[in-house]
């Protein structure tokens, strides 16, 4: 193992620059908060282990701790393993070099069981809840640690009895129910790989994902409920069986009576021959595949991103224990679906000894208090959601604190999109004043975070607390040079970390992997994540948008979020908006187009509204951000997790074919395809008029 470093980190790092006027602090952790934080215990643990001194807990100490964690990365991850008491065998090396992307393997000779670590709390508190689940506004279903353990035992036996072996793939097509977590643990202990999708996915999207991985067994159900709708899925399953001949058996949670499906049986029948047994935990290679997650697949089949059991576990422990301050017995909720990596992230809360809260159904049924009510009734300590849901709550004017008891709530987390300043302020005023707000940023690619919470620092509206430990985050310009604080640029990570994908499926030479993250800056091993960010004087970060959705009209790069902020003043007329660049085919110049969904359903934007929006942008942002076009749209394209699909809209209006239109709504996609034709025609006419010497209309 790496020997202890004796560097004096008091002399190597300083507190964030405080020379500029600080914005208003929304939340300042108290001395008691900091003293009791798991991050403080970890800091002390590191100091005892290494002989280093990071100083009193606070922003300056975190800066020094973070510097150590990236300069002595192997030592950091190894100390984290010990601090979180992970079960497994480390082997004789922490980080080993490999040929080819990603050039590093963590614990290359180590062995670990994801399931063993996820279920270890059963030895201490077998009767405490491990999972608390609710289907919309129904009754809660509680699985104790012992019941979860027993379910994993039964399902593992049944899956092995059905022929699932190490290296195979299990397909899970379900909603956000406890069985998804049970199947994850059972599959991981076998050494098979899980692939999951929420039932909101239609047949094409499901098959484009699962079909690349050839699952041997599929677990699903015939229907699901969302809001007031019961949605049938038998035809999707039938199509999956037809198009994926690798599926040897299908198991239906709701039974298989009167179901016209081949090689299919109900879960009760599938599990009937088995009873709970003591689980023999199989410690697989640290880098053995755990599950496969997917890119969006906008213009082709989704990329299949393979994550390892050990890498995921170690990274998630840093995020849960150190950055989110999750302790044994805490109760963690995240709005999620098995299609979204936050489902994978939520599951790992079990390894921190927390109970996880799972909500299945519409967050707005029977009303927009549904998830707030569910979590408050179950003593939630950490509430996680998607930023668009917070903004929806603002629009609806709901005040959760007046209807719910949040006395146990310590942290509110937000991801999936940019949480603007008013989102932070809303949480503090309408949910809980003395709550830590953590806007986090990462993604499917790392099934974790680059930027996120920090118990040592205050919360500022619109800012992310900072870089995660072990992540050497920089802000680069397009030439691959680091920019000064306050300057916008690309989010990059310049060091290896455990939750980098093991590989991409069907990418034998690693070219797809390389192109996805590393080819943008030739000659540098810099992971470009695709977020455009800036670092603040407080040492925190602001996300400006996705790099490929940045607006670049007049050669000035601008985040669309600044335009959306100006739309807030027009909420009486505008329900939503999306701003993207259209590239004129004639002169190859970017023209910003702002699409507006109007409250009255109007098909054209009134002249006075367009003029007022342009004036607001000119006066409050910059004249460079004024859209060249403001056009009405029936609605705004969104991803399944509620994020504005700016990249998709940009591709469509620039003439690229979208292969997964059903994911966004085929009628809506066709509308934007029509807008592409209109814009091409309009700018061709303008170009022709200019060439003829006449003034364009």
For residues 475 and 489, is the Cβ–Cβ distance under 8 A?
Answer: yes
What are the 10-residue block averages of pLDDT along the chain, 697 residues in total? 38 39 88 98 99 98 98 98 99 96 97 99 99 94 99 99 98 98 99 97 91 98 95 95 97 92 96 99 99 83 96 99 99 96 98 99 95 98 95 94 98 92 96 97 96 98 97 95 94 98 96 94 93 93 86 80 91 95 85 95 94 92 89 92 88 90 89 95 82 59
Angle between helices 203-210 and 234-243 (to 10 degrees): 40
For residues 457 and 536, is the Cβ–Cβ distance under 8 A?
Answer: no
**pLDDT value for 4:** 35
* Domains identified in the chain and CATH numbers: 120-127+145-285 (3.40.50.980), 550-691 (3.30.300.30)
Spatial separation of the C-alpha atoms in residues 376 and 412, rounded to whole Å: 12
Q: Minimal CA–CA distance to 630: which of 618, 652, 648, 613? A: 613
539: CB partners within 8 A, 6+ apart? 15, 16, 17, 59, 63, 457, 466
**pLDDT value for 691:** 67
For residues 13 and 63, is the Cβ–Cβ distance under 8 A?
Answer: yes
Q: Minimal CA–CA distance to 134: which of 407, 411, 375? A: 375
C-alpha to C-alpha distances, 498 to 57, 106, 599, nearest whole angstrom:
26, 6, 47
For residues 568 and 603, is the Cβ–Cβ distance under 8 A?
Answer: no
125: CB partners within 8 A, 6+ apart? 145, 329
For residues 182 and 251, is the Cβ–Cβ distance under 8 A?
Answer: no
For residues 292 and 192, is the Cβ–Cβ distance under 8 A?
Answer: no
Spatial separation of the C-alpha atoms in residues 574 and 384, rounded to whole Å: 28
Spatial separation of the C-alpha atoms in residues 61 and 457, rounded to whole Å: 10
Handedness of CA 434, 22, 443, 81 (dihedral sign): negative
């Amino acid at each position: 193992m790496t020997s202890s470093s004796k560097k004096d980190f008091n002399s190597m790092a300083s507190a964030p620059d405080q020379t500029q006027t600080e914005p208003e602090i929304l939340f300042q952790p108290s001395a008691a908060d900091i003293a009791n934080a798991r991050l403080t215990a970890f800091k002390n643990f590191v100091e005892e282990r290494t002989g280093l001194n990071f100083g009193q807990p606070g922003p300056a100490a975190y800066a020094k701790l973070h510097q150590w964690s990236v300069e002595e990365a192997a030592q950091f991850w190894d100390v984290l393993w010990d601090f979180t008491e992970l079960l497994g065998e480390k082997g004789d090396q922490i980080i080993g070099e490999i040929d080819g992307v990603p050039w590093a393997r963590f614990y290359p000779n180590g062995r670990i069981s994801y399931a063993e670590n996820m279920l270890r709390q059963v030895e201490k508190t077998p009767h405490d809840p491990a999972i608390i689940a609710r289907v919309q506004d129904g009754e809660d279903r509680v699985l104790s640690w012992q019941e979860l353990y027993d379910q994993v035992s039964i399902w593992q036996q049944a899956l092995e009895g059905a022929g699932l072996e190490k290296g195979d793939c299990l397909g899970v097509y379900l909603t956000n129910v406890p069985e998804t977590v049970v199947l994850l643990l059972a599959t991981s202990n076998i050494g098979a790989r899980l692939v999951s999708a929420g039932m909101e996915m239609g047949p094409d999207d499901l098959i484009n994902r699962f079909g690349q991985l050839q699952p041997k067994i599929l677990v699903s159900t015939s229907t699901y409920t969302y809001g007031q709708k019961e949605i049938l899925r038998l035809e999707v399953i039938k199509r999956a069986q037809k198009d994926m001949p690798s599926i040897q058996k299908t198991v239906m949670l709701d039974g298989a009576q009167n179901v016209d499906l081949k090689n299919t049986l109900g879960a009760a029948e599938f599990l009937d021959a088995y009873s709970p047994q003591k689980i023999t935990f199989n410690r697989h290679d640290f880098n053995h595949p755990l599950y496969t997650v997917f890119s969006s697949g906008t213009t082709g089949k989704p990329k299949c991103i393979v994550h390892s059991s050990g890498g995921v576990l170690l990274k998630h422990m840093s995020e849960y224990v150190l950055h989110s301050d999750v302790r044994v017995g805490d109760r963690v909720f995240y709005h999620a679906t098995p299609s979204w990596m936050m489902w994978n992230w939520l599951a790992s809360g079990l390894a921190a000894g927390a109970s996880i809260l799972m909500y299945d159904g519409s967050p707005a049924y029977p009303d927009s208090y549904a998830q707030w009510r569910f979590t408050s009734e179950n003593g939630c300590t950490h509430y996680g959601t998607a930023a668009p849901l917070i903004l929806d709550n603002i629009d609806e004017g709901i005040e959760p604190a007046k209807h719910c008891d949040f006395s146990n709530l310590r942290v509110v987390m937000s991801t999936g999109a940019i949480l603007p300043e008013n989102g932070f302020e809303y949480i503090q005023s309408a949910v809980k004043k003395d709550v830590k707000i953590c806007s986090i940023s990462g993604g499917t690619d790392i099934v974790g975070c680059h930027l996120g919470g920090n118990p040592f620092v205050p919360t500022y509206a619109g800012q992310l607390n900072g870089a995660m430990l072990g992540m050497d985050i920089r802000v680069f310009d397009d030439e691959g040079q680091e920019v000064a604080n306050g300057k916008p640029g690309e989010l990059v990570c310049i060091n290896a970390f455990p939750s980098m994908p093991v590989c991409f499926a069907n990418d034998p030479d690693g070219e797809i992997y390389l192109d996805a993250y590393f080819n943008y800056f030739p000659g540098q091993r810099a992971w470009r994540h695709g977020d455009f960010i800036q670092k603040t004087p407080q040492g925190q970060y602001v996300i400006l948008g996705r790099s490929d959705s940045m607006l670049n009209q007049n050669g000035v790069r601008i985040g669309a979020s600044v335009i959306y902020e100006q739309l807030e003043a027009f909420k009486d007329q505008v329900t939503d908006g999306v701003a993207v660049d259209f590239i004129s085919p004639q002169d190859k110049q970017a023209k910003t187009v702002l699409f507006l969904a109007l409250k009255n359903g109007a098909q054209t934007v009134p002249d006075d509204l367009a003029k007022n929006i342009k004036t607001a942008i000119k006066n409050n942002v910059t004249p460079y951000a004024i859209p060249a076009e403001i056009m009405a749209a029936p609605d705004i394209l969104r991803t399944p997790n509620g994020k504005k699909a700016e990249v998709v809209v940009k591709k469509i209006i620039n003439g690229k074919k979208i292969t997964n239109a059903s994911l966004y709504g085929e009628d809506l996609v066709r509308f934007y395809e029509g807008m592409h034709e209109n814009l091409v025609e309009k700018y061709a006419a303008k170009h022709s008029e200019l060439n003829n010497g006449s003034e364009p209309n």
